[in-house]
């Protein structure tokens, strides 16, 4: 290790101890205690857990994430979109994560603005409020005004946040690798891959230019939607760590008392929001991935406004079709079709029990077969579906899982506005539209063209592949690996039998020859070896009989 790396090593070690200490505090260090060296096991004592013993697991996970700071808050928010990986009660608790953070001092915030935008704050803005409106995990938001009189908000990144996120994810990757090495469940969940995916997502959010592009795209996509408003992006006052956008004056959709006092049409607001998000998914293929009530506002003029486009998902045509097929199979209560779709899109463990999976799907599908479509609640349906997949250790692709969570959150927010809201009723025209799109001549021609192109590419490569394979066979470079499953126990017994026979024969010879040491006429080594071999042979015969039984 280079001397210059020592400060970084010291920081990572200190942070590692902080992370593991917090996990212990909330009773979440069981795996670490099993896999870490003895000195760490002693350090990870269970003192003080009585205070949190009365809390549920989900609440303890949430509190630990909040205490550990921005990286873990963001990781928790990402995991809340993966109910196929974690229990539903934990996913629901992680939705409550509060991303608050201490405010930076005014001089620090001003310095970052000036470094990023290349000029004094007084020249960039006519008026800039040093006291932030709010401070979240990644940055804080300030009120300001431009020279043309426009009111804006300026999102300023906390200093050193990127370095801390990198250190935290290095620690998480190390912990995940250790757990995968010692825990079958961790291996089946592919924790290392999940951590790497979360790292890419969080580091992407730290570049505010990405959020600026998202905001610009969605403003253009919904420019003709009269009931929807998005903040105006201000590119000339935005950079990697600073984002400036138009100020929107409104209140959260969760503010029931104020919405009722103003006489807002809750049903119209719910429909506007639902149509906007479904348009994102099925029309644009790019969607706001975090539609909780804090990111949805009602403006003074009655329009709905969407905020915070840091977390955005993308969905291709094939994934749209998969989601459509899945929803149609739910409506038709066709468990065979559901199983077929899940097999196509999911990652199955080798030991999955198809009969048990079909039985579990039938169980939560039972109530749908007789219920009118307007009474089907998408949230409980998808929650039962993901819970079933998790029980069988089946993973969904991240995009599908995010879409499932999006629909659950969308229905929850819409029902908060309008208790009589039916997302399935709103989904039905989208399903019909996509079915018609599939059957349209242009779509059929496009699919035929893609298929033809794939076959042409394959046929073009086929002669070369065959020639290459033939040459490898001629040179003896082709190796065929045969994998036998279920033979490990048989081979082990065979080896044990051979060793037992050798020990019995050797012991008998030593006994017969009275090889020293001899006590009272008994050759100790020969007798001991013979007795051990006999006992092992009896045990081996018992195991063989048990296996046959």
Comparing CA positions, the residue from 300, 304, 292 lying closest to residue 250 is 300
pLDDT at 43: 45
Could you report the per-residue pLDDT of 198-242, keeping only the tens digit for each? 888 888 889 999 999 999 999 999 998 999 999 999 999 999 999
pLDDT at 322: 82
Is residue 131 very low, low, confident or very high in pLDDT (cuts 50, 70, 90)? Answer: very high
DSSP string, 40-62: HHHHT--TTGGGTTTS-HHHHHH
- Lowest model confidence (mean pLDDT) among 25-39, 204-218, 466-480: 25-39
DSSP string, 174-220: HHHHHHHHH-HHHHHHTHHHHHHHHHHHHHHHT-HHHHHHHHHHHHH
Spatial distance between the Cα atoms of 68 and 19, rounded to a whole number of angstroms: 7
Is residue 248 very low, low, confident or very high in pLDDT (cuts 50, 70, 90)? Answer: very high
Is residue 93 very low, low, confident or very high in pLDDT (cuts 50, 70, 90)? Answer: confident
SS3 (DSSP) at 299: strand
pLDDT at 446: 65
* Residue 471, number of CB atoms within 10 A of its CB: 11
SS3 (DSSP) at 149: coil
Choice between 111 and 384, residue whose per-residue pLDDT is larger: 111
SS3 (DSSP) at 12: helix
pLDDT at 8: 46
Question: 99 and 80 in contact (C-beta within 8 Å)?
Answer: no
Residue 373 confidence (pLDDT) above 70: no
370-394: b or e for each residue (b if 16 or more CB lie within 10 Å)? eeeeeebbbbebbbbbbbbbbebbb
pLDDT at 37: 44
Helix axes of 6-25 and 161-182: crossing angle, nearest 10 degrees: 60
Choice between 457 and 126, residue whose per-residue pLDDT is larger: 126
Average pLDDT over residues 145-157: 95
- The rounded Cα 130 to chain-centroid distance in angstroms is 36
Write down the domain spans for the chain: 3-98+163-203, 265-439, 489-548
Is residue 88 very low, low, confident or very high in pLDDT (cuts 50, 70, 90)? Answer: confident
- Lowest model confidence (mean pLDDT) among 173-187, 360-374, 532-546: 360-374
* CA torsion angle 281 287 288 292 (round to 10): 20
- The rounded Cα 401 to chain-centroid distance in angstroms is 8
What is the token pair recorded at 443?
A: 């779509």
pLDDT at 374: 67
Can you say whether the dihedral through the CA atoms of 506, 512, 515, 520 is positive or negative? positive
Question: 82 and 398 in contact (C-beta within 8 Å)?
Answer: yes
Spatial distance between the Cα atoms of 9 and 64, rounded to a whole number of angstroms: 24
Residue 63 confidence (pLDDT) above 60: yes
What is the token pair recorded at 392?
A: 């069988």
Task: Give whole-number Cα distances, 281 to 232, 290, 527, in Å.
Answer: 22, 13, 78
Of the ranges 31-40, 49-58, 76-85, 101-110, the best mean pLDDT one? 101-110
End-to-end CA distance of the chain: 58
Average pLDDT over residues 291-315: 85
- Strand segments, DSSP code E, in 293-435 are 296-299, 304-306, 312-314
Residue 71 confidence (pLDDT) above 50: yes
Question: Over the chain, what is the mean pLDDT?
Answer: 79
pLDDT at 35: 44
DSSP string, 221-277: HTTT-TTEE-PPB-GGG--SSEEEEE---EEETT-HHHHHHTT--HHHHHHHHHHHH
Residue 382 confidence (pLDDT) above 50: yes
Of the ranges 101-105, 238-242, 262-266, 385-389, the best mean pLDDT one? 238-242
- Strand segments, DSSP code E, in 282-339 are 286-288, 296-299, 304-306, 312-314
229-244: b or e for each residue (b if 16 or more CB lie within 10 Å)? bbbebbeebbbebbbb
Residue 2 confidence (pLDDT) above 50: no
Is residue 491 very low, low, confident or very high in pLDDT (cuts 50, 70, 90)? Answer: low
Is residue 325 very low, low, confident or very high in pLDDT (cuts 50, 70, 90)? Answer: confident
What is the token pair recorded at 350?
A: 């080798």
Residue 4 confidence (pLDDT) above 50: no
Residues 6+ apart with CB under 8 A from 221: 279, 280, 284, 286
- Lowest model confidence (mean pLDDT) among 55-64, 80-89, 302-311, 523-532: 80-89
Question: 148 and 134 in contact (C-beta within 8 Å)?
Answer: no
Residues 6+ apart with CB under 8 A from 290: 77, 308, 310, 311, 409
Residue 486 confidence (pLDDT) above 60: no
Vertex 327, ends 325 and 328: CA angle to 5°? 65
Spatial distance between the Cα atoms of 268 and 540, rounded to a whole number of angstroms: 75
Which residues form the catalytic set? 290
Sheet of 296-299, strand order: 228-229, 304-306, 296-299, 250-252
Longest distance between any two alpha carbons in the chain, whole Å: 112
Residue 177 confidence (pLDDT) above 70: yes
pLDDT at 145: 96
pLDDT at 478: 63
pLDDT at 147: 93
CA-only gyration radius of the chain, Å: 31
Of the ranges 6-10, 274-278, 320-324, 439-443, the best mean pLDDT one? 274-278
């Amino acid at each position: 290790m280079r001397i210059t790396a020592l400060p970084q090593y010291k920081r990572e070690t200190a942070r590692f101890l902080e992370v593991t200490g917090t996990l212990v505090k909330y009773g979440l260090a069981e795996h670490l205690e099993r896999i870490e060296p003895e000195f760490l096991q002693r350090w990870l004592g269970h003192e003080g857990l009585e205070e949190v013993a009365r809390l549920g697991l989900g609440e303890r996970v949430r509190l630990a994430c909040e205490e550990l700071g921005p990286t873990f808050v963001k990781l928790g928010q990402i995991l809340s979109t993966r109910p196929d990986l974690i229990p539903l009660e934990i996913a629901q608790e992680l939705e409550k994560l509060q991303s608050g953070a201490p405010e930076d001092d005014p001089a620090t915030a001003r310095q970052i603005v000036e470094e990023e935008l290349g000029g004094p704050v007084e020249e960039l803005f006519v008026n800039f409020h040093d006291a932030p409106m709010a401070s979240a995990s990644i940055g804080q938001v300030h009120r300001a005004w431009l020279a043309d009189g426009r009111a804006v908000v300026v999102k300023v990144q906390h200093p050193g946040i990127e370095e801390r996120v990198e250190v935290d994810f290095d620690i998480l990757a190390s912990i995940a690798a250790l757990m995968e090495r010692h825990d079958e469940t961790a291996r089946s969940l592919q924790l290392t891959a999940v951590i790497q995916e979360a790292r890419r997502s969080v580091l992407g959010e730290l570049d505010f230019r990405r959020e600026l592009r998202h905001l610009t795209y969605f403003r253009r996509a919904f420019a003709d939607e009269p009931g929807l408003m998005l903040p105006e992006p201000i590119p000339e006052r935005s950079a990697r760590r600073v984002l400036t956008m138009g100020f929107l004056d409104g209140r959260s959709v969760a503010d029931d008392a104020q919405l009722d006092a103003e006489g807002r049409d809750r049903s119209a607001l719910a429909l506007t929001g639902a149509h906007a998000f479904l348009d994102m998914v099925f029309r644009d293929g790019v969607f706001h991935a975090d539609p909780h009530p804090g990111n949805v506002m009602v403006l003074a003029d009655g329009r709905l406004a969407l905020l915070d486009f840091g977390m955005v998902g993308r969905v291709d045509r094939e994934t749209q079709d998969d989601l459509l097929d899945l929803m149609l199979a739910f409506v038709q209560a066709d468990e065979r079709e559901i199983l077929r779709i899940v097999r196509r899109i999911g990652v199955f463990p080798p030991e999955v029990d198809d009969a048990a999976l079909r039985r579990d799907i039938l169980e939560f599908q039972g109530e749908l077969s007789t219920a009118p479509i307007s009474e089907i609640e998408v949230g409980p349906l998808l929650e039962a579906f993901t819970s079933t997949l998790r029980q069988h250790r089946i993973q969904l692709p991240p995009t599908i899982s995010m879409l499932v969570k999006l629909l659950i959150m969308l229905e929850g927010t819409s029902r908060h506005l309008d208790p009589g809201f039916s997302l399935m009723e709103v989904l039905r025209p989208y399903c019909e539209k996509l079915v018609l799109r599939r059957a349209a001549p242009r779509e059929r021609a496009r699919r035929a063209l893609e298929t033809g192109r794939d076959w042409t590419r394959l046929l073009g490569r086929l002669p070369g592949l065959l020639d290459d394979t033939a040459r490898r066979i001629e040179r003896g470079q082709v190796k065929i690996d045969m994998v036998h499953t279920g033979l490990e126990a048989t081979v082990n017994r065979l080896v044990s039998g051979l060793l037992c026979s050798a020990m019995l024969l050797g012991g008998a010879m030593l006994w017969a020859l009275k090889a020293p040491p001899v006590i009272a006429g008994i050759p100790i080594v020969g007798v001991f070896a013979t007795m051990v071999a006999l006992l092992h042979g009896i045990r081996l015969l018992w195991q063989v009989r048990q296996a046959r039984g």
